[in-house]
A and B are shown apart, each in its own frame.
Chain A
């Protein structure tokens, strides 16, 4: 058995086991950490398939960005050490059954189908090729989706700030109340 085969099975086991633990553990912080390991396993699979650029993107965006965002939102919204309530056992069993039936259905379909590969010349996914395709406006170019995604990211940025911003009226009202109380106290003290 070759080394790359062993590495593939190790990465697959890491991805699947930590994925299962991420959806089944009752402590939400542990769920986030298991999700992080699952995403690292997927990045390792990209490296195994020799797509280095997308593996680096996966580590930077998912492992370094989204997971840290999730962990910060856990800190903002959860009490420390509090466990999530367990679900009803019937709901768990039926969910597992539904997921397993879907999995079996898809795998039966996949194994019955024979994929035909049309290998002409192999374009290696180097950063140079990706950059040339990304910004070309020709036949195989992706310039228009690139611009659309940049607009989407800008819209998401503005939308996040608008949604998560405190409405200014409430804070102003609270401040005015405090000022009023303070003024009354001052007046009482003077009297």
Chain B
């Protein structure tokens, strides 16, 4: 096994990104779609931290990008779950194919 470096972290974050994309394609339940989006956001965070550590250690810009992405992801998850609960109240289901009034 090699000494882990930037390429290994990029491999992990790319794999995690496309795992999230796969979940986004196959899932039909809104909460699991939200989980896939969280995986994608986390892979982007991992990328920012790795670039900050291995390529641009003189500044902390990647770290600040990650902090702001975490804050925005928390806000996004809260709003998404509020919408999901409201949808469940009106449709008694959170399947994306049952909520089709806004389709066209």
Contact = CB atoms under 8 A, between A and B. Distances in A.
A16 B66 CA distance: 20
Most chain-B Cβ atoms within 10 A of its Cβ — which of A19, A58, A100, A110?
A19
Contacts of B38: 35, 39, 62, 66
Contact of B22 (A95, A155, A156): A95
A181 interface: no
Given A95-B25, A163-B86, A123 B57 contact: yes
B interface, over-half SS: helix
Interface string B84-98: 111011000010000
A164 B86 contact: yes
Contacts of B14: 103, 106-107, 110
Given A102-B21, A118-B55, A120-B58, A160 B39 contact: no
Nearest to A149: B71
B25 A76 contact: no
A169 interface: no
A84 B77 CA distance: 21
Interface string A12-56: 100110011011100010011001001100100110011101100
Contact of B42 (A12, A62, A106, A110): A62
A66 B16 contact: no
10 contacts: A16-B16, A49-B53, A51-B49, A54-B49, A58-B70, A73-B84, A100-B18, A123-B58, A125-B60, A164-B86
Interface of B: 1, 3-4, 6-12, 14-23, 25-29, 31-32, 34-36, 38-39, 42, 45-46, 49-50, 52-60, 63-64, 66-68, 70-79, 81-86, 88-89, 94
